[in-house]
Amino acid sequence: MNRTFTIARKELQGYFNSPVGWLFVIVFLVSCSVLFFFLQSFFAIDRADLRGFFGIMPLLFSILLPALTMRLWAEEKKQGTYEFLMTMPYTETQLVLGKYLATMGVVGFSLLLTLPVPLMVSLFGSLDAGTLVAEYFGMLLLASASSAIGQLISSKTNNQINAFILSVIVLAALNLMGQLGVLFDLPEFFTTLINWLSLNHHVVGFSRGMLDTRDLMYFVILSAAALYATAKSIVFGRWR
Amino acid sequence: MKLDYKKREYVITALVVSALVLLAAASSLFYTRLDLTSSREFTLSAVARSLHEEIPETVRITYYISPNLAERHPGAQSIEDFLREFEALGKGSIRVRIANAEKEAEQAESFGIAPQQMQIVEKNEQRVALVYTGLVIEYLDDFFTIPALLSTSTLEYELIKAIRGLIYDSKQVAGLLIGDTGMTAENNFNILLRSLAQAGYEPRLIERSQKIESDVDVLFVLGNSALDRYDAWFVDDYMHRGGRAFFAVRGVSIDLEQGLQAKAVENDGILGLLSAYGVKISRQLVLDETNLTVPFQTSNYRGGYTIQYVRYPHWVSVQKRFVNAEHPITNNFSGLNLFWPSPLDVDKNTSVNFTTLASTTPVAWRQTSGFVTAPPANPQDVASYQLEKPDTGGTYPLAVAASGPITSPYAAGDLPVREGAEPLTAIPDVAADTRFVVVSSADFLTDLMQFSQSEFNAGFAVSAADWLASAEDLIAIRTRSERDLRLNKIADQNVKDATIILTYIVCIGLVPLFLVAWALVRAHARNRKEQQSRPLRGGEA
């Protein structure tokens, strides 16, 4: 486990030694606040409810998280450090988990810095603390699945830009696919399947203050599957 | 060797994928939910948990839902989950069935579930579809229908109330006696009627000067300016037969058609009756610093119209800290806006037990005469409202709940006479033990609440009806989803505006700037460290 944390620390430093990490956090914070206060006209609506605020995050994660994950493997391959990394005394699992933890560290830091929004809003009206906790927890789970998927895509490409574009497309599709059932007349089985696969569909419960084990397991399974697939793609890649 | 390793990896991968698929399937079948809301909004209450003890025969609940709605609306899934949980707690006494309303449309409609219009996209074409989402509760040969529902927010309350109604074979009736001239239930009390019906009450209009039947569980006296002593006798007669009433009454009438002209109420019918019960409503107005901003249309000097937003102290926004948190009606307060309220006093020397439900802030004041109710030409000019403020400032009760024995004002035999109408008889001088609620604003339950986004006023009335009908245990269930969501913690508009700007500065300015500063300091420190260590590395960058 120590080795995993060593990788995580190294990756985290990598994020904040370059503008990537800082840009991610700043753009995320400014976008969330501007969209929430101005586009959604929070004060004009006059409701002490942060569903709108957290409702923006899935789309922002789809666009911004790939900027963090694109470099995880694609950059190693481009800079030629990939082979060097493979010779180091780390297992694939330690490498994948370490990189994943580093990404989650940046996301966690960003979410922590959004706390002034509920704190300031609570000066105007009574927010439900339990719902707020559920919403933050839901966002962490969503970020977990998104960064695991982003890392998987990064491991399958040699180019950061390709990794970024592919990740945005996949995450946006996973977020918006729940709308397919609304827009098109699909068979019931497909609608159920699409809803189950949709990231957004599983965030709704958290935004209402409910922690449903179905949603929790979805994010856990998706994150685990994507991380496992990343580790295996590295293993299988070695054989080529 | 490598081949064996490869084979093992493929087998392990196949096993892990299978395990994940199985786990996904199992998690969909076996699940639990943790309600993190502070009011446990989605957790079934103690009443629901013990309801099975009250059910002698099986209750059958059928949820008729159109498949195309179930697939498109997340509310349908929540309702199904809720009903399954409700069924599990019923310990066999409650059976739930989810029915395809398209296949069983005829049956659904026979129960009174009407199709609702909904815009959907089908076969890539947008169209308006008729969908069903209704619920039928059957018990023995009787049934109760909730004709349309899309959320679980009040479903528990509605279900328990309906099941109890069926088991005990009692349908609760809410009588509505409209006491102001020119007002009708259809034109002025739509929201209240809808809220009462949704809460399981059967609204029934009561004619003036007509006997109020004893099967009326709760009587709403809505306004009083047109009710004289003769009309009030019928209310007193009802109360002395054990009836329970909610009085929304005024001391001053406001003419909405005539530029908000104010006039003290002349008829003494209901005000006199309440006075005998121990509640005195003055023919004055109460104004408060915590009030609503109201858009008024005024004509300008060019003959056109201008909309002005005026802070209107005659529309009092009751603050949570000035409501009684102990009383069942108000212990889960979601808001109350009172329009043109009057001062209310209670006589503590009577045998009735009074509890103040809501009051003004300590900086309220009165207008005792020469009422100024019209909006000022200049929205900032509020001095005309405040002429009597220095002499009358203080806290004023606005709503009270009462229980105990009441005395009739007609017991002494001073009976009103109306020409051509049946003579009245004296009410026996026997104190009746009853409950009643008085709110010193007659307009707060009219559809004006829609204009001022005060629909929670109807929620207050339904809670009061439940308390009057001795269904206190249900009030907490219904009101837990009615949180006060208004951004009203800061009463002063100037302070609020300044705090909004501060919020923007902190969230959009200070936090990102702090990060930029941190990034620059960190980069600078790294550069310096790198420069210092360069000689040690032989001058390499």
Domain check: are B381 and B242 in the same one?
Answer: yes
Cα-Cα end-to-end distance for chain A: 29
* Beta-carbon separation of A126 and B16 below 8 A: no
Whether B484 contacts chain A with CB within 8 A: yes
* Beta-carbon separation of B512 and A30 below 8 A: yes
Rg (CA), chain B: 31
Mutate to test the interface with A, among B40, B515, B524 (most CBs of A within 10 A): B515
Print the domain residue range for B98: 46-146
Q: Identify all chain B residues contacting A214, using CB atoms and an 8 Å cutoff.
A: 27-28, 31
Q: What is the pLDDT of residue B3?
A: 62
Whether B42 contacts chain A with CB within 8 A: yes
Q: Is the pLDDT of residue A85 over 90?
A: no
* Any domain includes B277: yes
The structure tokens listed for A125 are: 């009206």
Do B437 and B247 meet the contact criterion of CB atoms below 8 Å apart?
yes
Q: What is the pLDDT of residue A154?
A: 92
Domain check: are B352 and B386 in the same one?
Answer: yes
pLDDT band of residue A70 (cuts 50, 70, 90) is very high
* Any domain includes B427: yes
Domain check: are B481 and B500 in the same one?
Answer: no
Please give the residue that has the higher pLDDT: either B493 or B228.
B228
* Beta-carbon separation of B72 and A121 below 8 A: no
Q: Is the pLDDT of residue B4 over 80?
A: no
- What does the pLDDT look like over B57-97, one tens digit per residue? 899 999 999 887 776 676 787 788 788 888 888 888 899 99
Look at chain A and report how many structural domains it folds into.
1
* Beta-carbon separation of B23 and A221 below 8 A: yes
Q: Identify all chain B residues contacting A14, using CB atoms and an 8 Å cutoff.
A: none
Mean pLDDT of A25-35: 96
CATH code for position B96? 3.40.30
Q: Identify all chain A residues contacting B519, using CB atoms and an 8 Å cutoff.
A: 16, 19, 22
CA distance A103 to B55: 55
Q: Identify all chain B residues contacting A152, using CB atoms and an 8 Å cutoff.
A: none
Q: What is the pLDDT of residue B163?
A: 92
* Any domain includes B166: no
Nearest residue to B472 (alpha-carbon basis) of B331, B286, B351: B331
CA distance B485 to A46: 8
Domain check: are B512 and B470 in the same one?
Answer: no
Calculate the alpha carbon distances from B140 to B90, B156, B165 in Å.
17, 21, 13
ipTM summary value: 0.90
* Any domain includes B325: yes
CB atoms under 10 Å from CB of A221, counted, come to 17
Q: Is the pLDDT of residue B456 over 70?
A: yes
CA distance A149 to A25: 20
Q: Tell me the nearest-neighbour CA distance from A165 into chain B, angstroms.
A: 26
Q: Is the pLDDT of residue B534 over 70?
A: yes
Report how far Cα A81 is from the mean position of its chain's Cα atoms. 25
Please give the residue that has the higher pLDDT: either B528 or A240.
B528
* Residue B220 DSSP class: E
Q: Is the pLDDT of residue A22 over 90?
A: yes
CB atoms under 10 Å from CB of B435, counted, come to 23
Tell me which H or E stretch contains A134: helix A129-156
Residues 116-155 of B with CB under 8 A from A: 120-124
Domain check: are B350 and B447 in the same one?
Answer: yes
Nearest residue to B235 (alpha-carbon basis) of B209, B217, B215, B205: B209
Domain check: are B250 and B389 in the same one?
Answer: yes
* Any domain includes B169: no
CA distance B487 to B71: 35
* Any domain includes B351: yes
Q: Identify all chain A residues contacting B13, using CB atoms and an 8 Å cutoff.
A: 228, 232
Sorted by sequence, the CB contacts under 8 Å of residue B452 that are 6+ apart come out as B292, B294, B315, B337, B339
- What does the pLDDT look like over B324-342, one tens digit per residue? 988 989 987 888 999 999 9
Domain check: are B341 and B197 in the same one?
Answer: yes
- What does the pLDDT look like over A42-64, one tens digit per residue? 887 778 889 889 999 999 999 99
Mean pLDDT of A136-164: 94
Q: What is the pLDDT of residue B15?
A: 92
- What does the pLDDT look like over B352-398, one tens digit per residue? 999 999 999 999 999 998 899 888 777 677 788 888 999 999 999 99
Q: What is the pLDDT of residue B439?
A: 97
Rg (CA), chain A: 19
Domain check: are B484 and B501 in the same one?
Answer: no
* Beta-carbon separation of B37 and A128 below 8 A: yes
* Beta-carbon separation of B507 and A37 below 8 A: yes
Lowest pLDDT segment from B64-73, B142-151, B299-308? B299-308
Q: Identify all chain A residues contacting B24, using CB atoms and an 8 Å cutoff.
A: 196, 217-218, 221
Whether B68 contacts chain A with CB within 8 A: yes
Calculate the alpha carbon distances from B262 to A236, B258, B307, B308 in Å.
85, 9, 22, 21
Q: What is the pLDDT of residue A236?
A: 78
Look at chain B and report how many structural domains it folds into.
4
* Any domain includes B381: yes
Mean pLDDT of B429-453: 89
* Beta-carbon separation of B512 and A26 below 8 A: yes
How does strand B353-359 pair with strand B94-100? unpaired
Q: Is the pLDDT of residue A118 over 90?
A: yes
Whether B492 contacts chain A with CB within 8 A: no
Q: Is the pLDDT of residue B471 over 80?
A: no
Q: Is the pLDDT of residue A239 over 70?
A: no
Print the domain residue range for A209: 2-239
**A45: Cα within 13 Å, side-chain hemisphere:** 16
Domain check: are B11 and B119 in the same one?
Answer: no
% of residues, chain B, pLDDT over 70: 94
Mean pLDDT of B310-337: 89
Q: Classify residue A238 as exposed, middle or buried by CB count within 10 Å of its CB (0-12, 13-18, 19+).
A: exposed
**Dihedral sign computed on CA atoms, order B176, B182, B186, B190:** negative
Sheet order of strands, B397-406 included: B202-205, B173-178, B218-222, B245-248, B432-439, B397-406, B353-359
Mutate to test the interface with B, among A214, A232, A240 (most CBs of B within 10 A): A214
Mean pLDDT of A138-147: 96
Q: What is the pLDDT of residue A170?
A: 95
Q: Is the pLDDT of residue B305 over 80?
A: no
Q: Phi, psi at residue A4, to the nearest 5°? A: -60, -45
Q: Is the pLDDT of residue B461 over 70?
A: yes
The structure tokens listed for B291 are: 């009030």
- What does the pLDDT look like over B263-290, one tens digit per residue? 999 888 999 999 999 999 999 999 998 8
Q: Tell me the nearest-neighbour CA distance from A159 into chain B, angstroms.
A: 27
Q: What is the pLDDT of residue B274?
A: 95
Q: Tell me the nearest-neighbour CA distance from B171 into chain A, angstroms.
A: 33
Q: Classify residue B317 as exposed, middle or buried by CB count within 10 Å of its CB (0-12, 13-18, 19+).
A: buried
Domain check: are B234 and B342 in the same one?
Answer: yes
Domain check: are B485 and B499 in the same one?
Answer: no
Whether B22 contacts chain A with CB within 8 A: no
CA distance A211 to B32: 8
What is the largest distance, in Å, between two alpha-carbon atoms of chain A? 61
pLDDT band of residue A208 (cuts 50, 70, 90) is confident
Domain end call among B130, B146, B162: B146
Q: Is the pLDDT of residue B121 over 60?
A: no
Domain check: are B64 and B137 in the same one?
Answer: yes
pLDDT band of residue B432 (cuts 50, 70, 90) is confident
* Beta-carbon separation of B37 and A131 below 8 A: yes
Mean pLDDT of chain A: 89
Domain end call among B455, B471, B489: B489
Q: Is the pLDDT of residue B294 over 90?
A: no
State which residue of chain B sits closest to A178, comparing Cα positions.
Answer: B72
Helix, strand, coil: what percent of chain A each, to 5? Answer: 85, 0, 15
* Any domain includes B309: yes
**Beta strand ranges found along B214-329 (DSSP E):** 218-222, 245-248, 252-255, 261-264, 279-281, 285-287, 291-299, 305-318
